[in-house]
Structure 1
Amino acid sequence: MEPKKNPKADLRKNSGLYFVVGLAIVMLLVYAAFEWKTYDEVNEYDISLNVEDQLDEEVPMTEQIKTPPPPPPPAAPEVIEVVEDEEEVEETVIESTETSQEEEVIEIEDIEVEEVEEIEDVPFAVIEDVPVYPGCEGAKDKRACFNEMIQKHIRKNFRYPEIAQEMGIQGRVNVMFTIMTDGSIGNIRYRGPDKNLEAEALRIIEKLPKMTPGRQRGRAVRVPFSIPITFRLQ
């Protein structure tokens, strides 16, 4: 059976070629659409101001006139005192302090300087005449009387610090002081286990009375003395 259509009239024969050509045309149109640019209308004209050049005219220049400062006042004329020839003017004569060979040099005798003896500290244990505590003037052994009166003074004025009792603090405070040449008490030093005990020991020693100073070779000297004060809880 023969086909009814002519093979040359078959449109599907070149359909692939037509598709490729059409696709290429569409892509060109899309690219052209993306690349298409539009610009606003711009009037091309010069917007600068028209200023007439007046080069021929000279511009006057103003100069600042500076006024010169006033001249300084004239200096006062010096008063020149005229001395007449008849008037005698005293001249100041400066005598030379240099000695001539004719003058005799007087020798000055050596000046004697009295040596001031330094007051030394003499320990209580070795001093010749110990300090006398008030009330021990008539005692045979003034050294033993001194120690006894010191102990009596400490017992009489002793007060245990309340804060130390509450904290249970006890111990020994070593006190050192000096009986000065006028019999007063000075140079008090102390060391103990607690500042409250030290303060009480200082208070006791400061209450010591004024004494008769100790003597060494017939002159008053300072006598250092040390004594322990014991604080003990019962």
Structure 2
Amino acid sequence: MIMETGFLSVASFDDIVFEGRNKAYGAYVLRQEYPMQVVKATGIALLTAFLFLIGLVIKEPDVMLPADTQSTQLNNKVHTFIVEPIIPKPPVKPVAPTPAASPASPAVTTKAFREIRIVPDLTPVTTTIPDQNDFAQAEPGLVTAAGNLPGTVPDVLAEADSAIGTGTETSSPFEVVEKMPEFPNGLAAMYKFISKHLRYPAEAQSLGLQGNVVLTFVVSATGEISDIKILQDIGGGAGEEAKRVVSLMPQWRPGLQQNRAVPVRFTLPVRFRIN
């Protein structure tokens, strides 16, 4: 039995696309020649690179001459070298790090302590006792005097009011009495009361005003404070502040004259001082 073997040509993609078309020129020819063009371009690139590498390999080596040699002859050529002596660089000193500035401590605000002193009025009360010799020339008793007085004498004389005062009658306040008015629990308690309630006015502090403020007021027969007046002031609201504190005082023990409560005018100095 005879078997025949043949080769079947396999059509390329270009043959299928250009089947029945003109293949003599144009796109078909470009497609057929493209692989060969790629091979040629690759070969040229490789050859160029090979020649460049050979040039680097066979390049003349650089010859370093001593520092005092200016020229030499190699391969029948004169090569001139300029060799500069190598000057070592001075060692660089490490720069010490600048210490970080410590944060400034906050400024301490100092406030002057202002001491308020209340100075009592310690002026002694002087009572003048009349000389007994003055009474030696006196003639006690009734004296009848002659005279011619016009007018009529009433038949009925008004009876004198013999009622004893109750201590609440309205009269001018005394300046000095047998027993002066007194703050409850004494002068020490009064100074403590004033120191507790008195405030140094801000205006007087800022202006640096200090000194004595003198007040006068009336302690009534029942012990109430009234008629407060400023006799001496340093300004800056100090007088008004002292007056305010006196008006807050509790009821005093009234002054006594002949064992009877009477109104008495009292003088009180208050010292404002800045330390």
Give the TM interval when normalised to the shorter protein.
Answer: 0.3 to 0.5
TM-score, structure 1 normalization: 0.44
